[in-house]
Structure 1
């Protein structure tokens, strides 16, 4: 630990740090190192304890953490969380998700979140990812430093074996708590820690260090591949962020797969499922220009439209039959979270009605003497098909005056021009 301390402790004085403090051995060692950093400014290091409430001794752990932090003069924040036991991906993963959500919600701007993962944790993560068939990004396992809005996530002990932490804790006479769930082999990570890794180390004493080193090499390779992916993604992207089908089809299949996954990540879509890339290649890239082929997973969609792939995030559906009166005097928030407002005028001459498209509507366009089907007007416009159902209709009785701010009737356009006013629509935000 002495070889690490100067670098570790210097970093503690360069940035404000919030330590994820469970009260166990690993986080106790990390917090003690940071608490004793030479030159540390008062208040530059603080601790956060997440109270999961999953163990009968959880309240005792909270009291222990409070006593330790008081002794070391470290501010402590206790954050209770609710763990979704039916989250569909296991209690261990659900607890981790709740913990990380608590960290992110309480991390301050520019602050570093310090977690006490060590070399043995890295080896376990590497094995878990390999057993799940992960690619090079997955095998890179945990990074020592990465972005974690609104700050950074920092794992300063990642290259140290747990035995080094045990030795440090014994030398400093630290007190810590033991989570009894760590002794249960029911969880995958515990099974590796308790049964698989000890067996591997009997044959290969340096197995843990070797797997951690492989994770580091995978991280280097992933970084290089990521740079190449970004270059290809830029070449295949249009100005609005859509993917150009022709450019994508010119890539080798492996490049297509990586660009598609990178693009989905940039579009903040859920990770593509295992069959996602193949389905997109077979169904979307080969579709005709007049087809609106799409691929759906979870609540997200990728749609091919006009020679491009578009990411369509989920939105909130409108209640059936929704409508309301609107006088234009104040912006109105629509059921799906979109907004509509009138700019340049105090309001309409009389209240109008807002509703969703139902089908069969007709509208008289500027410069035309007869009415057109609104459906045909939308099809001939540049409005994306997935936005058309979200367009609020502005009506005067049965007469359609506008579809949001995208298609205006002759009567509404004349009124807006006479009042030097304009109508504005903000599409609904995506649903997370």
Structure 2
């Protein structure tokens, strides 16, 4: 199968229609990718854009934007340069910082549902797997690079992931393509360059199929990663409370391996990525601490906390935003989530005679009392927080739906009995989509 046929087949499977954005550095891999994508876009009448990220980190790179513009023009592809600022300094990996800045800029260019194509190939996959082994990574790292992953409002596709670099170079030579060579690629102080320049050639000399078999191992790890994710979601579902806290008792009933899998998945969804030793510390020093303790584990600027035998990762961002009046049918951004009040004929939460314009959203009001629907007798809001298991650090972030000075609802938790309609009566329904608490 020719490289063009391979590319067309894989792209058809990954992204059969829609605009194409190509990450175009000007090097061999992205030049071949752009040429293939340009041919496919012309045949299928699809929009295509070449995106070149200019990091400004080395003198040689100053000439690359002009070169990339010329190549794109020759291929009949629209071109755009994105200039980024890379944060450097002591203890900062320039390679990682440049990658983060590059992908942030590329992601920002993608309209909803669009695809960014990158030129990663089979040799890159082998290097990624070797780097993961060097770090002592688990199956997530050993799964290496997926062919498709979310990026910004769209997706990132790697349609050349099964193609060897040597095949890309043969195609480029046959087609008369011109590309630039990055001088920094010869600097073996960078781990990936060391593998690419010294180690992988030796492995391929000894075992010519090494890159392909390594890629097969990565694919098997990716399957195991998907199984682990499905198992974690299954195990976590009954362990989460209304405040997104994770029950320690339920975790304790799982085997150690299954518990670690569930806990690791739950933490990663909240932006915490723990090593094996950090996970053990979190379990022994936090989950298994004495009942009257208030332990905190801090990792990477985030906190893992415990309250009422549940684990929490308090949010770092999103200040609450009060709203003076509700507008029927309109989503309101509250900083900690978004809320919509909608008229319904049945299944209402709030009486029809209460007008949304008379309601407002507040946060952190002290001294309130309420009688939640289905409960008898009023209680202080402080007492209700405890009964509903809302941790102290989350309470100022819970939207309070107010009618003048009276509490109508603690959004996402309860509606006050005085404002609830009779069953099957029309009224107002609250739709609440919280951000991470």
Distance 2:226 2:324 in 1: 55
Task: State the Cα distance separating 1:364 from its structure 2 match.
Answer: 8.7
Query: 1:369 maps to what in 2?
Result: none
1:15 partnered with 2:22 = no
Q: Secondary structure at the match of 2:287?
A: coil
Do 1:15 and 1:111's aligned partners in 2 also have CA atoms closer than 8 Å?
Answer: no
Query: 1:420 maps to what in 2?
Result: none
Distance 2:294 2:281 in 1: 15
Task: State the Cα distance separating 1:226 from its structure 2 match.
Answer: 2.5
Query: 2:137 maps to what in 1?
Result: 134
Q: Any gaps of 5 or more consecutive residues in structure 1?
A: 319-323, 349-353, 367-371, 394-400, 408-413, 415-423
1:55-74 matches, within 5 Å, as: 55-74=58-77
Q: Report 1 or 2 for greater relative contact order, CA contacts < 8 Å, sequence distance ≥ 6.
A: 2
Distance 2:154 2:335 in 1: 34
Change (3 A) 1:212 1:137: same
1:256 partnered with 2:259 = yes
Do 2:41 and 2:47's aligned partners in 1 also have CA atoms closer than 8 Å?
Answer: no
Query: 1:208 maps to what in 2?
Result: 211
Task: State the Cα distance separating 1:317 from its structure 2 match.
Answer: 8.4
Change (3 A) 1:7 1:208: closer
Task: State the Cα distance separating 1:180 from its structure 2 match.
Answer: 0.5
1:232-381 matches, within 5 Å, as: 232-238=235-241, 240-265=243-268, 267-315=269-317
Distance 1:329 1:241 in 2: 26
1:25-63 superposed Cα distances (whole Å, 9 cap, x missing partner):
110011111212286344522211111111213231000
Q: Secondary structure at the match of 2:270?
A: coil
Q: Secondary structure at the match of 2:257?
A: helix
Distance 2:39 2:363 in 1: 63
1:317-340 superposed Cα distances (whole Å, 9 cap, x missing partner):
89xxxxx9x99899x99999999x
Distance 2:240 2:369 in 1: 37
Distance 2:33 2:292 in 1: 60
Do 1:12 and 1:45's aligned partners in 2 also have CA atoms closer than 8 Å?
Answer: no
Do 1:249 and 1:285's aligned partners in 2 also have CA atoms closer than 8 Å?
Answer: no
Query: 2:195 maps to what in 1?
Result: 192
Do 1:291 and 1:305's aligned partners in 2 also have CA atoms closer than 8 Å?
Answer: no
2:84 counterpart (51, 59, 81): 81
Distance 1:107 1:156 in 2: 18
> Which piece of structure 1 moves more, 61-70 or 280-289?
280-289
1:350-399 superposed Cα distances (whole Å, 9 cap, x missing partner):
xxxx9989xxx877999xxxxx9997786567542112456899xxxxxx
Query: 1:385 maps to what in 2?
Result: 392
Distance 1:215 1:141 in 2: 6
**Which structure is larger by alpha-carbon Rg, 1 or 2?**
1
> Which piece of structure 1 moves more, 39-48 or 140-149?
39-48
Q: Secondary structure at the match of 2:306?
A: strand
Distance 2:338 2:227 in 1: 40
Change (3 A) 1:248 1:25: same
> Which piece of structure 1 moves more, 100-109 or 213-222?
213-222
Do 1:49 and 1:65's aligned partners in 2 also have CA atoms closer than 8 Å?
Answer: yes
Task: State the Cα distance separating 1:149 from its structure 2 match.
Answer: 3.9
1:38-53 matches, within 5 Å, as: 40-53=43-56
1:172 partnered with 2:171 = no
Task: State the Cα distance separating 1:72 from its structure 2 match.
Answer: 0.9
Q: Secondary structure at the match of 1:116?
A: coil
Task: State the Cα distance separating 1:110 from its structure 2 match.
Answer: 1.8
> Which piece of structure 1 moves more, 270-279 or 159-168?
270-279
Distance 2:98 2:113 in 1: 25
Distance 2:317 2:230 in 1: 32
Distance 2:258 2:239 in 1: 11
1:27 partnered with 2:33 = no
Q: Any gaps of 5 or more consecutive residues in structure 2?
A: 340-353, 372-378, 412-417, 419-429
Change (3 A) 1:58 1:404: farther
Distance 1:41 1:313 in 2: 45
Change (3 A) 1:84 1:402: farther
